[in-house]
């Protein structure tokens, strides 16, 4: 069984889109999505520096557009239900997965993520906040440390990784008082995503969602709120809005993949983060991070060997 997953914010690096734009079809799709995003995605994906693409209003449309523009090089839309057993995305990557599953059109997905990025950037500007990965340590001691410093476990990523979110002062205090045998690694994001700090963005997205007409997923779509398959398009959209201010349970998503009997996992660009988690949390599953077109031959082989047909 093959699944396709889409990464979240923080996975982007300067120039990551450049090798993909050498493929004419990708360049054409990125140009089209740039109009929906009202952003120069080509520039941001090739020459913009790290600080520029850290901006939430830039990073989120860039990440979603990259995944949607490169997916057809792996499988065209008609072939997806024949070969892909499920899809899911981490945080903003869930919007990519929603479009892969056909709940939203690519243009509607990019329009949605544009509103999400702008709303979260505005919410982040109200109070200086951020996120940090806590890697290792005893889970109970990590949870106690986060609670002690008033931080939220915004992402439960499994494989010994929790992402803490809160004010910059709270995060600095955690770094000075890290749990035993744990590393605290600041993440390149501009706010405390998936916490109460993002409620203004959720309110904005609620209004925007009322203008959309979601379809039911054509392939199983796992929600990163609880790892469950959501079969109703309206419920998918409701969850997309709610996850802005709620935690991401990627640990439960990976557990669900394992329970389904998944044997292969392909991560769309900007790839690497979710494959790293899968190597620790989904042992025995073959993984592939699509870094450049050089990886497409390996992707084609995985489709042949793990696809449902």
**Nearest Cα residue to 204 out of 88, 80, 119:** 119
Nearest of 130, 142, 140, 138 to residue 171 by alpha carbon: 130
Distance CA 203, CA 65 (A): 24
> Is 91 assigned a catalytic role?
yes
Annotated catalytic residue within 91, 149, 223, 306: 91
Q: How many residues does the chain have?
A: 309
Q: Which listed residue (44, 83, 90, 194) is catalytic?
A: 194
Which residues, other chains included, contact 90 with Cβ-Cβ below 8 Å and sequence gap of 6+? 5, 6, 7, 8, 155, 224, 248, 250, 253, 273, 274
Q: Alpha-carbon distance 230 to 259, whole Å?
A: 16
Exposed e or buried b per residue across 101-120, where buried means at least 16 C-beta atoms within 10 angstroms of its C-beta: bbbbbbebbbbbbbbbbbbb
> In the annotation, is 194 catalytic?
yes
Residue 309 has a CB neighbour count (10 Å cut-off) of 8
DSSP 50-97: HHHHHSHHHHHHHHHHHHHHHHHHH--TTTHHHH--EEEESTTHHHHH
User: How many CB atoms lie under 10 A from the CB of residue 125?
Assistant: 12
> Active-site residues: which are they?
91, 194
């Amino acid at each position: 069984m093959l699944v396709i997953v889409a990464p979240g914010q923080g996975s982007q690096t300067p120039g990551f889109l450049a090798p993909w734009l050498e493929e004419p079809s990708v360049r054409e799709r990125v140009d089209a999505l740039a109009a929906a995003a009202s952003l120069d995605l080509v520039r941001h994906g090739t020459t913009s520096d790290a600080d520029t693409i850290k901006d939430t209003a830039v990073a989120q449309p860039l990440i979603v557009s990259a995944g949607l523009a490169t997916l057809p090089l792996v499988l065209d839309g008609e072939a997806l239900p024949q070969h892909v057993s499920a899809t899911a995305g981490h945080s903003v990557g869930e919007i990519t997965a929603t479009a892969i599953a056909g709940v939203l059109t690519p243009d509607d997905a990019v329009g949605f993520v544009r509103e999400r990025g702008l709303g979260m950037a505005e919410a982040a500007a109200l109070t200086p906040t951020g996120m940090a990965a806590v890697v290792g340590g005893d889970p109970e001691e990590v949870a106690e440390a986060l609670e002690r410093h008033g931080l939220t476990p915004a992402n439960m990523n499994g494989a010994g990784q929790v992402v803490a979110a809160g004010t910059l002062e709270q995060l600095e205090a955690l770094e000075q008082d890290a749990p035993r045998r744990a590393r605290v690694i600041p993440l390149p994001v501009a706010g405390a995503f998936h916490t109460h700090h993002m409620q203004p963005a959720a309110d904005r997205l609620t209004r925007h969602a009322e203008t959309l007409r979601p379809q039911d997923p054509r392939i199983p779509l796992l929600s990163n709120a609880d790892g469950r398959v959501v079969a109703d398009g309206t419920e998918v959209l409701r969850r997309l809005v709610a996850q802005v201010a709620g935690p991401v349970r990627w640990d439960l998503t990976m557990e669900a993949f394992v329970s389904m009997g998944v044997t292969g996992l392909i991560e769309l660009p900007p790839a690497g983060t979710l494959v790293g988690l899968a190597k620790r949390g989904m042992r025995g599953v073959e993984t592939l991070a699509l870094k450049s077109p050089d990886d497409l031959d390996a992707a084609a082989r995985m489709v042949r060997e793990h696809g449902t047909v």
